[in-house]
Structure formats: C-alpha cells, structure tokens
C-alpha cells in the first residue's frame, strides 16, 4: 500500500492526473490508445453506474446489440460509446439534453473488443463503464446487405418509429432508419452512412442529438428514453447530404 501511495503522490506531483492511473477493469490491450484518442486532457474514472449491456459473444458480427444505461449520475452532458479494438472505434456520441442518459443501438465488430461508454457529468468528469464482446469478427469489412440489393435506394432514408408509454419507466422512443451504413472497409464500396439524428418535440424544442458512426449496423435501430410528452420529430442526415425525416406520437 505504502509504495503505491508514494507512486501516486509522485505522479500527482508531476502533474499526471491521479484518476488516470486507475487500472483498466477490462484489462484491454487497446485501452492506452483509446484513452489517448478519446480522453486526452480529460478527467475520468471507471464507474459501475455507467452500465453497458452487450452479449458475451457476437453471434452476428454485423449487428451486435448494445444498450447504455446511466443511473445516479446527475445531469449527464454527453455519452461516447466506443469499441476500442474496432477499425472504426467510435459507435455513437450522444448529447441527451432533454432525454434520459440511456441509448440502445446495434453495431458491427471486427474482432473481440471492449465496448465502453463514457458519460460526461455536470462536474466535468467522464464516468466510464464497459464490457467485453467476444467475436469471430469480420463485421466491419463485410459489405452491407443493401449493397447487393438493386432496390435499396427506394427505401433509403425511410424512418420507422414508435413511442411506448412504459408506466413507471417513462416514455420510450424506438426508431429505425433504412440505410446501408457502408464502412468503406469492404472492397469497392465507398463509405456511406447516417451521420446524425436530432430529436425535436412538437414545440420545436431540441430534445437531444446523436452522432452516428459507420460502425453502427445497417439500418440503424436506436432506443431513447424520453422525459417529455407529445410527439417527436426525427431529423437525420448522412455523409452524402441526404436528409431524412420522421415523426411519431
């Protein structure tokens, strides 16, 4: 204990943030790189209140379900979800604003990887939870199903959505956008993916925003927990400038 403490004091005196010396609970070889890439200059701590629900094994590496639930951290400003050993590590960046700090999504994996969620609290600290997904791989370099379907363009950008009133658990919005989500990693198929979704209420008030990355599975299917009533408008845009719109009551 004593030498450990001494080391911490030494690091602190050198200006290395204390929190950063916490060992990665997932013991991932990719953590130093992920930390560099996404958390440089940020204060962070591993915290179980950020729950990441993923399967142990990716039975289908082109569409692995994930759900991030943040409980007990007030006023979450932003949530980053990334799979650090993926060729496209970032999955979604979410600004919950007037939404609950929860998000459901499906993503591709190229190999076994931790999936992390980093939630930024009002105190400026990033709280990080995560879990490993074991995978045979290949999900990111596989062509989309749409890329082999001549009719995909007819359905591009269709938004299907539904709201549930779940009693004590509040209102929930689930949606799916028809989009191939091509990663650019399959030979001869350029990067083509949904980039952004904004949720707005019936009084034009901004509810929340999510940046979607090409690692999200084909036909992105997302889950949001609402805090407000009324209808919701969904505004989306992809990297080719296509716009999409949906509305749900």
CB of 141 to other proteins, least distance (A): 14
DSSP state of 217: P
172 binds other proteins (CB under 8 A): yes
Q: Are 66 and 105 in contact (CB under 8 A)?
A: yes
Residue written as tokens 């074991």?
134
CB of 164 to other proteins, least distance (A): 3
Listed residue (100, 136, 157, 92) closest to 118, CA to CA: 92
CB of 66 to other proteins, least distance (A): 5
Using CB under 8 A, which of 4, 15, 56, 187 touches other proteins?
Answer: 56
Q: How far apart are CA 33 and CA 227, in angstroms?
A: 36
CB-wise, 42 or 174, nearer to other proteins?
Answer: 174
49 binds other proteins (CB under 8 A): no
Q: Is 184 left (phi over 0), alpha (psi -120 to 50) or beta?
A: left
CB-wise, 2 or 56, nearer to other proteins?
Answer: 56
166 binds other proteins (CB under 8 A): yes
Listed residue (227, 214, 244, 246) closest to 166, CA to CA: 227
CB-wise, 158 or 202, nearer to other proteins?
Answer: 158
Near other proteins by CB under 8 A, which window of 35-43, 54-62, 91-99, 208-216? 54-62
Using CB under 8 A, which of 11, 45, 60, 112 touches other proteins?
Answer: 60
Segment 71-130, which members bind other proteins (CB under 8 A)?
A: 104, 106
Q: Of how many residues is the chain composed? A: 249
Record the tokens describing residue 48, joined without a space.
Answer: 């179980």
Q: How far apart are CA 200 and CA 213, in angstroms?
A: 21
The residues of the shown chain that bind other proteins, judged by CB under 8 A, are: 53-57, 59-60, 63, 65-67, 104, 106, 136, 160-162, 164, 166, 172, 174-176, 221, 223
């Amino acid at each position: 204990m004593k030498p450990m403490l001494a080391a911490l004091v030494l690091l602190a005196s050198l200006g290395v943030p204390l929190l950063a010396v916490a060992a990665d609970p997932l013991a991932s070889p990719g953590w130093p790189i992920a930390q560099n890439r996404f958390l440089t200059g940020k204060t962070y701590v591993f915290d179980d209140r950020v729950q990441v629900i993923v399967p142990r094994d990716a039975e289908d590496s082109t569409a692995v379900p994930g759900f991030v639930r943040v409980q007990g951290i007030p006023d979450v400003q932003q949530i980053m979800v990334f799979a650090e050993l993926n060729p496209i590590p970032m999955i979604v960046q979410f600004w919950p604003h007037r939404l609950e700090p929860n998000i459901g999504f499906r993503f591709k994996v190229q190999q076994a990887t931790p999936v992390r969620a980093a939630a930024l609290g009002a105190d400026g600290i990033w709280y990080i939870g995560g879990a490993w997904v074991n995978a045979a791989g290949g999900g990111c370099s596989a062509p989309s199903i749409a890329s082999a379907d001549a009719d995909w363009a007819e359905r591009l950008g269709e938004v299907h959505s539904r709201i549930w009133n779940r009693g004590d658990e509040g209102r929930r919005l689930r949606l799916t956008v028809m989009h191939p989500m091509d990663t650019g990693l399959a030979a001869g198929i350029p990067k083509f993916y949904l980039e952004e979704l904004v949720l707005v209420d019936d009084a034009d008030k901004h509810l929340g925003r999510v940046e979607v990355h090409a690692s999200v599975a084909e036909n992105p299917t997302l889950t949001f927990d609402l805090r407000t009533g009324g209808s919701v408008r969904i505004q989306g845009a992809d990297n080719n400038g296509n716009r999409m719109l949906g509305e749900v009551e």
